[in-house]
Structure formats: C-alpha cells, structure tokens
Amino acid sequence: MSNIADYSYTPITRIDHQVSWEAGFTMRSPILSDLLNSLSSEEYLEVLDIIPANQGVIDAFSGLNCKLHLPGCLAGLSEITTQKYDTPTKLHRAFTRLFGFYKRQRASLNVILLWDLPNYLEKPVMSALINYLSEHLHDSARLHFYIHTKHLIPASPGRYTIEPGGEVFSQNSDDKMVESPLYFQEALQTLMQPFMVKRSMLLSGGLQEYVLEQK
Amino acid sequence: MIDMKQFKENVSSKIKHYHDEDKTEVAETPGMVNTQQSKAMAIGASICIKGDVTGDEDLVIQGHVEGSINLKGHNVTISKSAKVEANIEASQIIVEGELSGDMNGDEKVVIRETGNVRGNIIAPRVNLEDGAMFKGSIEMEPRQAHNNSNNKTSKKDEKNKDGIDLKLAQ
C-alpha cells in the first residue's frame, strides 16, 4: 500500500485541457454559474445568446420569467470584417440583420452571452458590436465571455452549452489554429465601452472568464 | 335502393379498421392519421393551404400551409415533409419539418432533430433536440422556481472550487 502512495500524486488543479478539444470537455465556469444564480425569478429578464440554440442554454434559463433571444448569429458575426463592412452604417445594418432587433422588436437586455466570440472579431468590429448592443441594454445588463490565454487558438469560435449541473461543455469546431489576440483586461475595457470589468477568473482550461457591467 | 355489394364492402372495411385501431399511423378515412394517443386530421404532402386553419382536433401537417393555425387545446405536428409559414396556437406543437412563424404552445413546443424553425416561441416548456435548427426568441414562464432555488443553494456551496479569482470590483 505504501509503495503505491510513493509513486502516486494528486494534481493541484484539474487539467481540463488535456482532454482533446475535438471531443470536447466540461469545465467549471464559476462566474457564469454565479451570474445564473443571481438572476431573479420574479423580475422579467431578457437574455441574448449568440451561439446556435441548444437545450442546455434553454434549460439554464427555463426556471426564470424571461425572454431568451437566440438569433443563432455566431457564424455571421465571426465573418464580419471591416473590409466587407467599411462604414459604421453598414456594420449597424449587418448587426440588425443578424440579431433581428428591428424597430418593432427592440430589446432591453439583462444578460448577454458572447462565449469566446471576442477572440475572433477585429477590434473595430468588436467596438461597433458593443456600441450596437448598448442601444438594447437594460440598466443592469451584464456581458459574459471567455478570452483565450494561449497563443494559438482554434480558427473559429467554439461550441458551448450549459450542462444541468451548471458546468459548461466546450467543443472545438475547427482543426486549424490561429494566433490569439491575447487581450488584457485594460484593452478589453477600452474596446467594450460603456462596460467595465466586474469580475474575471482564470479557468483551468486556459480560458479567462469575464463578466462586465455598465459603468 | 341500397346497393348491397357496396354495403358489404363498407361493413368489411369498418371491421378491418376496428381491428387495426391499436396500430399507429393507420389511415382510417382519407386525411385521418391514427396516432397512439388520439386520431388527428392530416394535411397530406401534396396539399397546399393558404389561409386560416381552425378546428377542434389534433392536426398533422405533411404539406404546405401559409397563413395561421389556431387549434387551442389540441396538438399540431409539422412532419418532416411539411413547409409551414404560419403563426400557430395549440396545446402542444411538434416540429419535424420547416416552420417560419411564431408558436404559442399552452403545454410545450418540441423541435425535433430534423426541424428548422425561424420565429418566436411562447411556451412553458421547450424541447430542442440535438441537430434542430432554431432562430428567434423563446418567451418562458417561470416554472420549477422552487427546484431552482434549491439548486442555487447547492451550487453556491460548490462554486469557486476551480480557477483563480483575479478581480472583484464593486
């Protein structure tokens, strides 16, 4: 028995990223978990999730009195470049088309889930996106996303879903790798005006989790 | 005058239907589909309807409907082959085909693996199977509030086990 103890060790942190991205892995996402737990079931809420609709996200919000906007616009957003949309008006139109927030369908968003999209947008596009979303915010709006801390990241945004226990299942959707923008907190705050970082946490999978609030 | 030959044929076909009643997907009369729970009216694959559909029984759509469907208290199923451009009000709505329109389900809305929906949903329960396509919004009513609050307390105990909290700004 003592022999086994001599040659065994317990890792200090659970190393989620050893599991292949292709197969996907489950990670704890404490900030998202706290965000979900903090939502009131009494108050009417509006939530925007940009990834393709999935049951996990629907279930996560199903106990609340809320409207879940699921425009499924992740692919469309990640394809927006300043080369294609070279003026603020063109960008605004593109966002309206993707989100479906036309005049009669204006939103007052309490929660926005961007997942790892910010890693894949050009900086001017990111600023324009936040600027666009700021027209549809509730006073208490919170913005949640992940920033990659590794130099190389998959070439396109990952797939995510919220599991019944509140953990997040993450799956790579691209075998190609590209360089990460490696955003620091200050850079993010500059890009994401009028939001400011409320809380940030480094996850064991190599993702930095953020939640931002309006100033 | 009663045509006895015709009469015998009718009687024998009715007896056959009576014996087949337990089987699913048996057409009893033209346009009827016999499901496990109840009989449902079917709009066949080659049928195209433009206008408002109302009624007092379950409906299975296999064809093309444009307009609105109002079957409060009943179930509507949009089959794989169906293409529907309509707002739907029903008790339970199951989508296996293509739908462009809003759904108001008193009980629940189910979008199957093959379903492709663009529109808004108002329902207390929404099931989205893996592979189903949905773009729009879901208006949910509060439910399982008690269960949720129980989950919250248990989740709070577990939180912050992983990761390093770098900043907590007030």
- Would you tell me how many other CB atoms lie within 10 Å of the CB of residue A114? 26
B157 interfacial to chain A (CB closer than 8 Å): no
**DSSP for chain A, written as a single string:** -HHHHHH----SS--GGGS-TTT-EEE--HHHHHHHHHS-SSS-EEEEE-SPP-HHHHHHHTTSSEEEEE---HHHHHT--TTTS-SHHHHHHHHHHHH---GGG---EEEEEEETGGGGS-HHHHHHHHHHHGGGEEEEEEEEEEEE-SSEEESSPPEEEE-TTS-EEEE---S-EEE-----HHHHHHHTTTEEEEEEEE-TTSEEEEEEEE-
Q: How far is B150 from chain A (nearest CA, A)?
A: 11
Band the pLDDT of A175: cuts 50, 70, 90. confident
Query: Nearest CB to A33: which of B125, B159, B169?
Result: B159
Nearest CA in chain A to B116: A53
Between chain A and chain B, how many beta carbons pairs sit less than 8 Å apart? 103
Mean pLDDT over B105-113 rounds to 95
First to last CA, chain A: 58
Q: Which range has the worst mean pLDDT, A78-82, A142-146, A168-172, B18-22? A: B18-22
Query: Does the structure show a pLDDT above 50 at B23?
Result: no
Residue B34: pLDDT band with limits 50, 70, 90 = low
Interface test with B, best of A201, A203, A207 (most B CBs within 10 A): A201
Instruction: Tell me which of A92-96, A103-107, A110-114, B96-100 is least confident.
Output: A103-107
Could you read off the pLDDT of A121-166 as tens digits, one per residue?
A: 999 999 999 999 999 999 999 999 999 999 999 999 999 999 988 8
Query: Does the pLDDT value for residue B26 go beyond 60?
Result: no
Does the beta-carbon distance from A72 to B133 stay under 8 Å? Answer: yes
The arithmetic mean of pLDDT across residues B72-101, rounded, is 97
Give the pLDDT confidence score for residue B168 in this predicted structure: 33
Q: Which residue of A has its CA nearest to B137?
A: A69
Question: Which of A21-25, B57-61, B65-69, B101-105 is predicted least confidently?
Answer: A21-25
Q: Looking at the complex, report in whole angstroms how far the Cα of residue B134 sits from the nearest Cα belonging to chain A.
A: 6
Q: Tell me if A67 and B140 make a contact (CB, 8 A cut-off).
A: yes
Chain segment A109-124, per-residue pLDDT in tens: 999 999 999 999 999 9
Quote the pLDDT of residue A25. Answer: 85
pLDDT of residue B21: 41
Which of B127, B138, B163 lies at the smallest CB-CB distance from A70?
B138
Residues with Cβ < 8 Å from A208, sequence gap 6 or more? A146, A147, A148, A149, A200, A201, A202
Q: Rounded to a whole number, what is the distance in Å from the CA of A139 to chain B's nearest CA?
A: 16
- Chain B hits for A55, Cβ within 8 Å: 127-130
Decide if B147 touches A, using CB distance below 8 A: yes
The ipTM assigned to this model is: 0.84
Tokens 């108002």 found at: B122
Q: How confident is the model at residue B142 (pLDDT cuts 50, 70, 90)?
A: low
| DSSP 8-state secondary structure symbol assigned to residue B4 | H
